[in-house]
Amino acid sequence: MQAPPSSASPPKQPEEVGLARAEEAPREPPPPSGPTREVRLPPIARSTLSNGLEINLIRESRLPLVYVRLILRSGLAKDPKDRPGLSLFLAKMLELGTRRRSSQEIAEAIEGLGADFSASVDSDSTTLEIRGLAEHLDTLLSLLAEIAIEPSFPEEEIKGLKIRESNRLAVEGNEPSYIARREIHKAVFDEHPYAHIDLSLDSIERLSRRELVEWHRTHYVPNNSFIVVVGDIDPERARALIERNFGRWRKGGKSLPGVPEFSYQNKSREILLVHRPNSVQSVIAVAAPVPPPSDPASIPFEVANQILGGSVSSRLFLDLRERRGLTYGAYSSVDERVQVSLFRARLATPTAQTVAAMEGLFEHLERFVREPPTSEEVKNASRYLSDSFPLQIDTFGRLAWMVAYLRLFNLPDDHWDRYRQAVLAVKEDEAFQSARRAIDLDRLAIVVVGDGTKLSEPLRRWGSLRLISADGRAIEESALRGGGASASAQ
Q: What percent of the chain has pLDDT over 90?
A: 84
The amino acid sitting at 412 is P
Q: Which DSSP letter does residue 319 get?
A: I
Condensed to tens digits (0 to 9), the pLDDT of residues 198-257 reads: 999 999 999 999 999 999 999 999 999 999 999 999 999 999 999 999 999 999 987 888
Name 32's Cβ contacts closer than 8 Å, sequence gap at least 6: none
Q: Are strands 65-72 and 126-133 parallel, antiparallel or unpaired?
A: antiparallel
Q: Are strands 116-121 and 474-475 parallel, antiparallel or unpaired?
A: unpaired
CA neighbor of 139 nearest in space, from 130, 150, 127, 148: 130
> For residues 449 and 467, is the Cβ–Cβ distance under 8 A?
no
Angle at 87 between CA 82 and CA 91, to 5 degrees: 150
Place 28 in a pLDDT band, splitting at 50, 70 and 90: confident
What are the chain's domains?
Answer: 45-246 (3.30.830.10), 270-488 (3.30.830.10)
| Alpha carbon distance 80, 379 (integer Å) | 45
Burial 353-381 (b: 16+ CB within 10 A, else e): bbbebbebbbebbeebeeebbeeebbebb
Which residue has better confidence, 116 or 490?
Answer: 116
Neighbours of 350 (CB within 10 A): 15
Q: Are strands 225-231 and 54-59 parallel, antiparallel or unpaired?
A: parallel
> For residues 41 and 220, is the Cβ–Cβ distance under 8 A?
no
| Alpha carbon distance 450, 284 (integer Å) | 9
SS3 label, residue 348 = strand
State the pLDDT at residue 34: 62
| Alpha carbon distance 180, 363 (integer Å) | 21
Average pLDDT value over all residues in the chain:
91
State the pLDDT at residue 391: 80
State the pLDDT at residue 119: 98
Give the chain's largest Cα–Cα span: 87
Q: E strands of 60-142, at which residues?
A: 65-72, 116-121, 126-133
The amino acid sitting at 172 is E
State the pLDDT at residue 7: 37
Neighbours of 116 (CB within 10 A): 12
pTM of the model: 0.89
> For residues 260 and 192, is the Cβ–Cβ distance under 8 A?
yes
What helix, strand, coil percent values describe the chain, rounded to 5? 45, 20, 35
| Alpha carbon distance 52, 222 (integer Å) | 6
Residue 419 in this model has a pLDDT that exceeds 60: yes
State the pLDDT at residue 477: 80
State the pLDDT at residue 12: 42
CA neighbor of 421 nearest in space, from 255, 299, 329: 299
Q: E strands of 356-397, at which residues?
A: none
> For residues 88 and 76, is the Cβ–Cβ distance under 8 A?
yes
Neighbours of 91 (CB within 10 A): 22
Residue 322 in this model has a pLDDT that exceeds 80: yes
Reported residue count of the chain is 490
State the pLDDT at residue 6: 39
How far, in Å, are 96, 364, 402, 480 from residue 101 at the CA level?
A: 9, 56, 32, 55
SS3 label, residue 466 = strand
Condensed to tens digits (0 to 9), the pLDDT of residues 453-482 reads: 999 999 999 999 999 999 899 998 877 765
The amino acid sitting at 119 is A
Q: In what order do the strands lie in the sheet with 330-335?
A: 330-335, 341-350, 281-290, 445-450, 270-275, 464-469, 474-475, 487-488
> For residues 147 and 128, is the Cβ–Cβ distance under 8 A?
yes
State the pLDDT at residue 98: 97
CA neighbor of 310 nearest in space, from 409, 380, 372, 402: 380
Condensed to tens digits (0 to 9), the pLDDT of residues 52-78 reads: 999 999 999 999 999 999 999 999 999
Q: Which DSSP letter does residue 154 get?
A: -
Q: Is 145 exposed, middle or buried (0-12, 13-18, 19+ CB in 10 A)?
A: buried
Condensed to tens digits (0 to 9), the pLDDT of residues 281-320 reads: 999 999 999 999 999 999 999 999 999 999 999 999 999 9
Neighbours of 253 (CB within 10 A): 8
